[in-house]
Structure 1
Amino acid sequence: MKIVDVVERAVPISSNIANAFIDFSKMNASIVAVKTDVIRNGKPVVGYGFNSNGRYAPSGILRERFIPRLLEAKSEDILNESGTNFSPEKIFDILMANEKPGGHGERTVAVGTLDMAIWDAVAKIEEVPLYKLLADQYGDGTIDEKVFVYAAGGYYFPGKGLPELQDEMKSYLDMGYSKVKMKVGGVPLKEDLKRIEAVINVVGTGQNLMVDVNGRFNLEEAIEFGNAIKDYHLFWYEEAGDPLDYQLQEELSKVYPHAMATGENLFSLQDATNLIRYAGMNPKTDFLQFDCALSYGLVEYMKILNMLEENGWSSRNCIPHGGHQMSLNIAAGLKLYGNESYPGIFQPFGGFADGHAVEDGFVTLPDAPGIGVEAKEQLYDLLKTL
């Protein structure tokens, strides 16, 4: 049993949308195929992976460091103890061999992309969906039959006024979502408040709305914005300041009375640990958004889940960033609170299996081996080109 080839290519996911910090006019992502010599249903098993939106394709370091490192490994060094499947944990150690700690940079994205493909292959070899493999081998043996998802949107866009913003949010409700998220922090406070009120008029209550600053504010701005929105009783107030500014988050936590969310731009166990230690986050109310596809993969993500449990947090505090099938499998198999969703943008990576519509804010998963990319036709058509 061995890996015979790994192929990577960068593909565009560009658009004219923008949040408070960046636009997506030149955004791309890496897709990878890990080809094995294992035969299932008459064909070699191929595991597919990709990186989440918001970080560019790590093509260079994948091709120069991590893919050669994986292909050079001895077959016996990447298999589980019984020799019947690949070991994601052993492969993680091989990928990270001779890498210094700290200064994580874009390597977290490269390893996370390969890690997704490895888990896809492992579940396909077992001939089970990844969520079932996770529940049986790492969880309590049961799965969430349906997973909470919210619609992330509300981006700034040229010529997009309040009516267009409201129409967008109405479309998400029509799709079956019960809660939505919008971008804030990119225009003056008074204008953002008008935008928030316009959306609340559509979704009915602040509890059906999240707002996301994407790290734009300093402490004074974060507190000012928090004071301005606190009476809306929003579902959460997300990433007000720089993701690594734990003191800002701690000070904001002292004065903002409702739920907050952060973590999508923290890409390692140590960074996640520091957030829990120093940022004043509340395990009774707050949400954590670590995205395994950007943060060294599921092997590292499960270390983060263990750390959270040791510090009095639950997996139910976690709603991963990214809006893709990998995180959806983790949510179902390891009992997270839910998962993000990007209806209509960052395609073909955003969204879930064809024929599994969102109903009352929840979505089901296909009974397909692996992470289920074959059950999403547009995505599978792209990945097959590898």
Structure 2
Amino acid sequence: MQRLFRKRIVLGVGGGIAAYKSAELVRRLRDQGAEVRVVMTRAGCEFITPLTLQALSGHPVGLDLLDPAAEAAMGHIELARWADLVLIAPATADLMARLAQGVANDLLTTLVLATDAPVALAPAMNQAMWRDPATQANAQLLEQRGMRLFGPGVGSQACGDTGAGRMLEAEELAQRAADCFQAGLLDGVRVLITAGPTREAIDPVRYITNHSSGKMGFALAEAAAEAGAQVTLVCGPVHLPTPQRVQRIDVSSARDMLAACEAAMPCELLIAAAAVADYRPQVVASHKLKKDPTREDGLLLQLVRNPDILATLAGRSDRPFSVGFAAETENLLDYASRKLRDKNLDLIVANDVANPNIGFNSEDNAITVIDRQLQPTAFAQTSKGKIARQLIAFIADRLQRA
């Protein structure tokens, strides 16, 4: 269940008596480390109060599509982007029918249409309603479109009937939610990931660095571990917690990072997400440099080239499948394609860091992956955690083909 740690789950609550189980489900998800935001249909509010689910989730409950306060920031779109998983429990016959038809007449159905996160439904209805050909056709259509059905279970129902149609219990739904997160894609694969900036010392108190936060590399490490890989994360100076099941090695300079990476070899997959300084001062002063009041022309630093970590590792006789990053402010795809060829890479991830919404230190990202045939594959803007899982799935597929 560690796969739910720090995952963002939107829990949709439809209008059925099984909505009382949603309160326990929120608790189960949060106990496993997930962040939960609840969206209710108006019918759902007849069975359990929004206040209850707000208290359990720690967030206001979404109710109205046309909420002036939320829609000032396009709240339904923000929730759609925020979610790593949309889980609707209970999913009533009416709600499944509206989803099958692509209806978007409330906050929950609109969010489902707008999200690129996986969507899972926990059907809950009378056994006759579940058996009805219309409901069965809707369930089949929703599965064909990629939605997952969790259940329904079989047993006694609130109406007194017995049969299929019960919503699964909260513990099982939480387990199935955890199973949505890519287990097995990289089972046993040794993955080396670099992340963050490097610092190149000028003197004991000053250094050259860049704005990289390390968030993308750390998200990739978490996603790779979630997918079953044995992950070694070599990172420059960052302020981020170590993902679970990841071996972390902290370094400072580019030469430190190269040494740590070479010590971590061999591996089957290299993902070089670090923003490594291309140059370092030729001489590092042993004491803090003082301002010279007799000089008005400034301080001249002689810089020398740092080792190219990615090209060095991708050029080894035991080279891994090698994925690089190109953080550029202009001519993004051209520069990225050139870097892919020059460094002998299998894939390169092009990232426009001139855009403040997806650049250094941002929570979101939007990328284009280029392969050896110079074919681009674009990933739309979303959270770095979600981009990381999409990218790991893409890389795992290419690795299996290599």
TM-score range relative to shorter protein: 0.3 to 0.5
Higher helix share: 1
| TM value normalised by structure 1 | 0.36
Greater radius of gyration (CA): 2
Higher strand share: 2
Looking at both structures, which has the greater relative contact order when contacts are Cα pairs under 8 Å and sequence separation is at least 6?
1
